[in-house]
Amino acid sequence: MQTKYWFVDNHVDMLVTYPQIKEAAQLLKKNEVVAFPTETVYGLGGNALSNEAAGKIFAAKGRPADNPLIVHIASEQQAADVAIHISATAQKLMQEFWPGPLTIILKKQPNRLSDLVTAGLDTVAVRVPDHPVALAVIREAGLPIAAPSANRSGKPSPTSAKHVQDDLDGRIAGIVDGGSTGVGVESTVVDCTGSIPVILRPGGITKEELEAVVGEVAVDAALTDAQKQPKSPGMKYTHYAPNAPLYLLQGSCEWIQSQISDQQQKGKKVGLLTTEDHLSFYEADVILPCGNSRDLKTVAHCLYDVLRAFNETDVDMIYSETFPTAGVGLAVMNRLEKAAGHRWIHEKMKE
């Protein structure tokens, strides 16, 4: 398959009139799959009403079909087209955070969405992306668009059109290049089908921000217990992994450097994921800075770029610093734990 590539300047008005947008939307109407930017990562879009389109998404990604997909719509009002029993809590969250990096799980409209999109569940995950290109594509297609991240399953999510091209060129109908994304990690997923909202996947909207709007918000036990099966779209299988094995190191800078040196003495080439403000502390074969430790939003923004950048090196292993889990740090550490396959090394405290 030849993948079409369109560049769209997302800073102009009336994007929906762009011939590139119209061509991408026409392919979606024909049940082809097309990648486009959102404010979080690039999504791989397909008609959420079509088994054919959903099947093409799973095939392109190499993703197991028991993993539900997030449905992207263009406005809060369209939620009623795909979902029922929209609670007052869900409505408050929609009004506060849509468009934006928040996915809300609701009871689905019966006999409307592809069962492949919802993995046969009676719920649907829905969001309105906060990106002009994404909204223009969805509006012009006139369809709810199922869109997981536009990468091969298990690889770091794409934050640029080049990342999508590297993973999916020749496997999908088209890529809409609308520049780099903003948040850098996927949307927060919140289950609003019960009496208390439950975070199933941390992301661009923090627990603290949600609680400021609706009060108590719980966190899925699977986020803190690797033995439990996560319920969220995109969280059931190992994700985000670079080619070399990744290990999470928790300890002092001096101890981390000693771990690097130990491996180098064994003949290993060691990569290190650190932050700009910690660069001067370390020596390793490859050191890649990922934001600033004093502002974890910058770490989230750079994370997938840095994980992918390690694939351009010849390191045998990657060590990563770890971060506090307050605010967006919860999303950063969730992605790093998945990328590392929960491989931790802790500094032993002296008694």
Q: What is the pLDDT of residue 239?
A: 67
CA distance 63 to 57: 8
Query: Could you give the domains of the chain?
Result: 4-223 (3.90.870.10), 246-346 (3.40.50.11030)
Residue 297, amino acid: K
Residue 214 host element (H or E): helix 207-214
Residue 93 host element (H or E): helix 88-97
Give me the long-range contacts of 214-218 (CB less than 8 A, separation at least 24): 214/89, 214/92, 214/93, 217/190
Q: What is the pLDDT of residue 306?
A: 97
pLDDT in single tens digits along all 351 residues of the chain: 899 999 998 776 777 778 999 999 999 999 999 999 999 999 999 999 999 999 999 999 998 888 899 999 999 999 999 999 999 999 999 999 999 999 999 999 999 999 999 999 999 999 999 999 999 999 999 999 999 999 998 899 999 999 999 999 999 999 999 998 989 899 999 999 999 999 999 999 999 999 999 999 999 988 876 555 555 555 555 567 899 999 999 999 999 999 999 999 999 999 999 999 999 999 999 999 999 999 999 999 999 999 999 999 999 999 999 999 999 999 999 999 999 999 999 998 765
Backbone angles phi and psi of 324, in degrees to 5: -60, 150
Q: What would the two tokens of residue 262 be?
A: 């130990």
CA angle 245, 251, 252 (to 5 degrees): 120
Distance of CA 246 to the CA centre of its chain: 19
Residue with structure tokens 């949307």?
Answer: 187
CA distance 182 to 301: 7
CA distance 341 to 333: 12
CA distance 229 to 148: 19
Q: What is the pLDDT of residue 65?
A: 81
Query: Are the C-beta atoms of 251 and 321 separated by less than 8 Å?
Result: no
The conformational region for residue 240 under phi > 0 = left, psi -120 to 50 = alpha, else beta, is left
Q: What is the pLDDT of residue 250?
A: 97
Query: Are the C-beta atoms of 348 and 300 separated by less than 8 Å?
Result: no
Query: Are the C-beta atoms of 190 and 208 separated by less than 8 Å?
Result: no
- Centre a 10 Å sphere on the Cβ of residue 74 and count the other Cβ atoms it contains: 21
pTM of the complete model beyond 0.85: yes
CA distance 168 to 177: 14
- Give, as one character, the DSSP assignment of residue 154: T
Q: What is the pLDDT of residue 97?
A: 98
